[in-house]
């Protein structure tokens, strides 16, 4: 019976593999391959292996700048989405008494995730612009005399858009982790005289670690791999690694784009692996 089940397992998972193989594994390999070749300048690829693409990347100051910008945004987004996401999840799990209401509010936070993120991004424009709602209100109320320019088409706007889009990725795993904490453990701690700070420090934070790690993986990989939020919200003022990649592809410079993509993928993989070291992801997800 067990052997037959194992065969069934392989059969059942084959459709998934039929998708992953050509649409994940193969493209990665193709990009990897293309990164070692040369461009013929017209969008084709000359099949002579060369390391020139990588050398160009690692010796170019542009690379360092791009990664600095991208990492800067990644860290800022991660920080703010974590802080907001943690407290929202905490509020929903520990302060909302009615479980049905908690689920309802949780869904309220999740629904925007299921709508277009481009639309959600550009929806900040009428708010943050020089003639936008916030500036108009501030001027009307007399807080400022001139419209605040830094609100839109700036790093501030980029981070706002990212946090707006990605906090949900923090809320969901952290909510999950917190919801699994047995409330009786907290009660027992209270009985023993622990303060709320103690409980946070010694019970809730350690037990939410997995959720935080999972959320971080999502946030980091999405921000590092993004190109359109930065392009639009910074008004062209900032660039990102993938943004530059996109430009390269636009001018049909496939090999250099490929090399850049490979380097980025390795960096993101390393970051994700680093985070994974602190959590058993398989157990966490497959529970």
Q: Give which of 268, 76, 275 is closest to 162, Cα–Cα.
A: 76
Among 8, 59, 185, 235, binds another protein (CB under 8 A): 8
CA distances from 36 to 26, 259, 266 (A): 16, 7, 15
Cα–Cα dist 91/83, whole Å: 12
Choose the stretch contacting another protein; rule: CB under 8 A; options: 54-62, 66-74, 141-149, 225-233.
225-233
Choose the stretch contacting another protein; rule: CB under 8 A; options: 60-68, 72-80, 100-108, 141-149.
100-108
Q: Give which of 174, 207, 171, 172 is closest to 189, Cα–Cα.
A: 207
151 touches another protein by CB under 8 A? no
Choose the stretch contacting another protein; rule: CB under 8 A; options: 66-74, 177-185, 190-198, 202-210.
190-198
173 touches another protein by CB under 8 A? no
228 touches another protein by CB under 8 A? yes
- How many C-beta atoms lie closer than 10 Å to residue 10's C-beta? 9
Among 212, 232, 259, 279, binds another protein (CB under 8 A): 232
282 touches another protein by CB under 8 A? yes
Among 50, 72, 76, 105, binds another protein (CB under 8 A): 105
The footprint of another protein on residues 38-97 (CB under 8 A) is 84, 87-88, 90-92, 95
109 touches another protein by CB under 8 A? yes
The two tokens of residue 12 are 């059942």
250 touches another protein by CB under 8 A? no
- How many C-beta atoms lie closer than 10 Å to residue 215's C-beta? 30
Main-chain dihedrals φ then ψ at residue 49, nearest 5 degrees? -65, 140
Choose the stretch contacting another protein; rule: CB under 8 A; options: 53-61, 64-72, 143-151, 192-200.
192-200
């Amino acid at each position: 019976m067990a052997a037959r089940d194992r065969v069934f397992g392989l059969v059942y998972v084959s459709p998934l593999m039929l998708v992953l193989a050509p649409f994940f594994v193969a493209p990665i390999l193709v990009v990897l391959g293309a990164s070692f070749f040369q461009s013929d300048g017209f969008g084709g690829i000359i099949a002579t292996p060369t390391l020139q693409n990588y050398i160009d990347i690692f010796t170019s100051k542009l690379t360092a700048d791009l990664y600095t910008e991208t990492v800067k945004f990644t860290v800022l987004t991660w920080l703010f989405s974590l802080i907001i996401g943690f407290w929202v999840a905490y509020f929903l799990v520990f302060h909302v008494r009615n479980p049905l209401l908690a689920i309802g509010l949780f869904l309220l936070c999740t629904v925007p995730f299921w709508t277009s993120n481009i639309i959600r991004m550009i929806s900040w424009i009428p708010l943050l612009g020089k003639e936008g709602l916030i500036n108009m209100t501030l001027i009307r109320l007399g807080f400022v005399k001139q419209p605040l320019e830094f609100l839109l088409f700036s790093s501030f706007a980029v981070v706002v858009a990212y946090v707006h889009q990605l906090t949900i990725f923090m809320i969901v795993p952290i909510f999950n982790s917190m919801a699994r904490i047995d409330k009786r453990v907290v009660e027992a701690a209270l009985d023993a005289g622990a303060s709320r700070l103690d409980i946070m420090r010694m019970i809730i934070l350690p037990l939410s670690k997995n959720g935080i790690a999972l959320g971080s993986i999502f946030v980091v990989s999405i921000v590092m791999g993004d190109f359109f939020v930065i392009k639009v919200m910074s008004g062209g003022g900032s660039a990102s690694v993938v943004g530059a990649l996109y430009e390269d592809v636009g001018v049909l410079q496939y090999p250099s784009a490929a090399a850049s993509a490979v380097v980025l993928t390795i960096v993101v993989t390393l970051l994700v692996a680093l985070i994974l070291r602190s959590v058993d992801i398989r157990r966490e997800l497959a529970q």
